[in-house]
Amino acid sequence: MNMKRCLRWLCLVLLAGGLVFHGAVQAAYPDKPVEFIAPANPGGGWDLTCRMSSQVLKEAGLVAQPMVVANKPGGFGVVAMTEMTRSRAQDQNTLVAFSAVLTTQMAIKKNPFTYKDVTPVAALFVDYGAIAVKKDAKYASFKDLIEDWKKQPGGISFAGSSPPGGLDHMRIAMMAKELGLPLKDLRYVAFQGGADALAALLGGHVTAFVGEAGEIAGHAESGTIRPLALLSDRKLTGIFEKVPMASEFGVKVSSANWRGFYGAPGMKKEVLTYWEDTFGKMVKTKQWADVLEKQAWVDLFLTGEKLQKFLDDELTMYQNLAKDLGLVQ
Amino acid sequence: MIEILNHLGYGLQIALVPINLLYAFIGCLVGTLIGVLPGIGPAGGMALLIPLTYGKEPASAIILLAGIYYGAMYGGSTTSILLNVPGEAASVVTTLDGYQMARKGRAGPALSIAAIGSFIAGTIGVALLMLLGPPLAKVALQFGPAETFALMVFGLSTVTSLAGKSVRKGLVATTFGLMLATVGSDLPTGIIRFTFDIPKLMEGVDIIVVAIGLFAVSEILSSAEEMRAGEFLVEKVSRIWLSFQDFLQSIGAILRGSFLGFFIGVLPGAAHVTASFLSYTLEKRLSKHPERFGQGEIRGVAAPESANNSAACGALIPLLTMGLPASAVTAVLYGALLMTGVRPSPFLFQKHPDVVWGLIGSMYIGNVMLLILNLPLVALWVKILRTPPRWLFPIVLAVSFVGVYSVNASALDLLLATLLGVVGYFMRRLDYPLAPVILGLVLGNLLEQALRQTLMISGGSLDIFWRSPIAITLFVLAAAVVALPKVLYRSQSKLEVET
């Protein structure tokens, strides 16, 4: 065989192999475009979770099918969940973003569904809670703030972005409980999103901001606000390196908002396994590490039984807290 | 000043890179389409195109998306004028005089003045954004919940100029809008109100669904009736282009609308909608012939169409100078920036001058593109009116329903639009104005939310309002808007009696 012939054979073999391989991929899941549903408006946390994940999955070549992000806002995720449990119960090609907002809404019985009505697929990362004040505020440290708060429990107003009974409100309640402050005096002001809450803080209309580290990263970096404490069980790196944990001041509160995806209640076992594996590969990519770094998010990858237990524990914790707060009987 | 010109030169350099010119053009074109077609608004349209920006330079991404935003403000007037179907919530006011102009054969001048007004306002808006951005952002921060509440009250006071003959009927219509606004989950407590266990209603009633139902569907119902009675008359299009006299008449309104719209745009709340309503009110109050408003007064088209364009520029200020998205549209831009790896913060100007100045440069160019794109279209649009009504109305109805469906892909919205169409039909028959319903719906949520946030901050005390000079000023202005015409009217009639 001369060289030319050899090459011709090689081409043929490669081509045949390619076709077979191509056929195999075609037959395997996903055989249709995948839809990521953000159950909120564009620009928020759920929206970012969907867009960042689909972007990394595409760039890293982990999912061969096109991925589209759709926004289905309403009732803090209830509208999307209603659709998934009713008309889309057997849909294999849709993933919906979820987070601690779901467990808190369940705890105060605002959501008629639970994560048991759908198929939780994976938790991907957490965004830790943070307390911040304006840069020229009189509170130089978290200690100053809590001392003043103890003196006048109703005198400190906190701006957050969840409704009463939501995550930000629970964070204030957990802190007040640790400090032994009467829960009925708390002054929590709910805004439409973290940006509105930050604007109220910057304009001096409220005393402090309660939210997530990712929401204030830009402002912490530029020095317009002063992050006083992280509600976390570990120190963060990057922008928040020098920010102490609340537990260092005796306020043992760690509150992370995790984010991940769930699928339709009728999601097949092999589809669930596919996504568990695929997300498992995604969180190990360089691109994903970059995303986490930029957003001040912290890696937390949970699937299967670990995810179930995590959700159960969290729900119990928020249910107890909701009772203490008098939000449910 | 030299420094700003240097920056602008740098921005124009970025904007003039062929690929960025292409993005600006795509953005403007898509924006015009989104504006022209009723239904999906700029925020939804931008979200759909975000995947196009993956892996692009941050400056290119934001040039494309912002193009959609201000492009939509241009296109929004088209269907308002031609068919009485508002393409966007910000174009509801334009229907008042724009559609009357079209009925009188002056659709061409109405569309032309909307395009020219948008161009002038857009250009003034970018210039103001460039010159006054950072100091104005500080002013915007002064608007906490108390000030926002006062601003909304001021916005609601404009209802007196929309009410037509009877202020009482105007108030009834506003109240209907405010009632519609209460549907959905209530932010301060998260309690679900008036949803009748329909999950779709939790997010509230969409403004564009109400606008299309009330205006378009009811328009078709009453026009059909007029046709049967042989009363439906559309005067022949007399001239397509604007006369110089029309332009002279409108230029004052355009300039006032541009400045007013820009400053309202910087403030929190439904900026474009509030800006368009306020500028219409201002023109009516300043006019020597307020009775001409609502009958096809060209200034009633020029002012709101200018105001919503410059408001779009103003609304970019909190995002660009503070890293805070103050509206649904700027929230999409915020998300898109994050995805390209730019973290919006107060340092955006210093850290990413290519993004900010590239955007500003592209907006100057984009406005010229939009003018060139939109003026020739006027001739085409006007031809639509030559379609016999028995063909035109079914098409309009179909386009309206597609628009309604495109907002949330919900069949319930179609039902709501139909119901509201019937309501709108009876309101017309009984001489109730329709625009105040939209005003009430848009401002209602913000009004209630701001009041309750204020009271949560103050612990229930109303003193907080009297401690805020901004709030007091706005309350006084609101009172003036309501009371002045009556006082003037009385003194005028007194004079008449005396002479």
Q: What is the DSSP string of B205-263?
A: --HHHHHIIIIIIHHHHHHHHHHHTT----PPP--SSPPHHHHHHHHHHHHHHHHHHHH
For residue A83, the distance in angstroms to the closest alpha carbon of chain B comes to 9
**C-alpha dihedral sign at A300, A303, A305, A310:** positive
Domain A128-249 in this protein, CATH class = alpha beta
First-last CA distance in chain B = 56
Of the candidate ranges B61-75, B325-339, B369-383, the one whose mean pLDDT is the lowest: B325-339
Q: What whole-number distance in Å separates Cα of residue A177 and Cα of residue B146?
A: 30
Q: State the best of A79, A113, A169, A291 to mutate against chain B, taking most chain B CBs within 10 Å.
A: A79
Residue ranges making up the domain that contains B214? 2-498
How many CB pairs below 8 A link A and B? Answer: 146
| AA letter at B290 | P
| Span A200-206, average pLDDT | 93
What is the predicted pLDDT for the residue at B192? 79
Residues A179 and A149 sit within 8 Å (Cβ to Cβ)? yes
DSSP-derived pairing of the beta strands B192-193 and A225-231? unpaired
The answer to whether residue B394 scores a pLDDT higher than 80 is yes
- pLDDT for residue A3: 55
Give the model's pLDDT for residue B316.
92
Helix (H, G, I), strand (E, B) or coil at A295: helix
Q: For residue B42, which residues of chain A lie inside 8 Å, CB to CB? A: none
- Tens digit of each residue's pLDDT (9 = 90 or more) over A155-181: 999 999 888 888 999 999 999 989 999
Assigned token pair, B132: 């006054």
Question: Which residues from A are below 8 Å from B266, CB to CB?
Answer: none
Which of A296, A275, A212 has its CA nearest to residue A36?
A275
Average model confidence (pLDDT) for chain A? 86
Distance from CA of B457 to the nearest CA of A (A): 6
Q: Tell me, what's the ipTM?
A: 0.85
Alpha helices, H only, B41-106: 42-49, 58-83, 92-103
Contact in structure between A100 and A167 (CB atoms under 8 Å): yes
Q: Which residues of B touch A164 (CB under 8 A)?
A: 188-190
> What contacts A38, CB < 8 A, 6 or more positions away?
A44, A46, A47, A49, A50, A51, A69, A70, A71, A72, A97
Give B180's contacts (C-beta < 8 A, 6+ positions apart): B205, B210, B437, B440, B441, B444
The amino acid sitting at B43 is A
Interface with A, mutate which of B191, B319, B347 (most A CBs under 10 A): B347
- Looking at residue B488, its pLDDT comes to 61
CB atoms B331 and A204 under 8 Å = no
Which residues in chain A have their CB less than 8 angstroms from residue B326's CB?
Answer: 195-196, 199
pLDDT at B181: 93
**Which chain A residues touch B453 with a CB distance below 8 Å?**
189-191, 200
Residue of B nearest to A192 (CA): B187
Distance CA B405, CA B420 (A): 15
Note the pLDDT of residue B499: 44
Domain count, chain B: 1
The architecture CATH gives domain A33-126+256-325:
3-Layer(aba) Sandwich (3.40)
Among A71, A157, A222, beta carbon nearest to B345: A222
Q: What is the pLDDT of residue B491?
A: 59
Please tell me the predicted confidence (pLDDT) of residue A24. 46
| Res. B16 pLDDT band, cuts 50 70 90 | very high
Task: Give the distance from residue B140's alpha carbon to the nearest chain A alpha carbon, in angstroms.
Answer: 8
Q: Do A79 and B202 touch (CB under 8 A)?
A: yes
Domain with CATH 3.40.190.10 in chain A: 128-249
Partners of A154 on chain B (C-beta within 8 Å) are 459
Q: Which residue has the higher pLDDT, B468 or A23?
A: B468
- For residue A270, the surrounding DSSP H or E stretch is helix A269-282
Residue type, B62: I
Query: Can you tell me the distance from the alpha carbon of B177 to that of B423, in angstroms, rounded to the nearest whole number?
Result: 12
The CB density around residue B463, as the number of other CB atoms within 10 Å, is 8
The pLDDT tens digits for B419-455 are: 999 999 999 999 999 999 999 998 998 899 899 999 9
| Residue to substitute from B40, B52, B141, B355, interface A, most A β-carbons within 10 A | B141
Contact residues on chain B for A41, CB-CB shorter than 8 A: 43, 328, 331
A26 has a pLDDT exceeding 70: no
**Beta-carbon neighbour count of residue A37 at 10 Å?**
24
Question: Is the pLDDT reported for residue A108 higher than 90?
Answer: no
Task: Give the global pTM.
Answer: 0.86
A160 phi, psi to nearest 5 deg: -135, 180
The minimum CA-CA distance between A308 and chain B, rounded to whole Å, is: 26
pLDDT tier for residue B498 given thresholds of 50, 70 and 90: very low
CB neighbour burial string for A269-301, b if at least 16 within 10 angstroms, e if fewer: eebbebbeebbeebbebeebeebbebbbbbebb
Is A128 in contact with A239 (CB distance < 8 Å)? no
Looking at beta carbons, which residues of chain A come within 8 Å of B347?
Answer: 218, 221-222
Instruction: Name the band, by pLDDT with cuts 50, 70 and 90, for residue A23.
Output: very low
- Cα–Cα nearest to B235, from B117, B405, B386, B371: B386
B26-30, B42-46, B115-119, B268-272: which range is least confident on average? Answer: B268-272
CB-based contact A199 B145, cutoff 8 Å: no
pLDDT of residue B257: 96
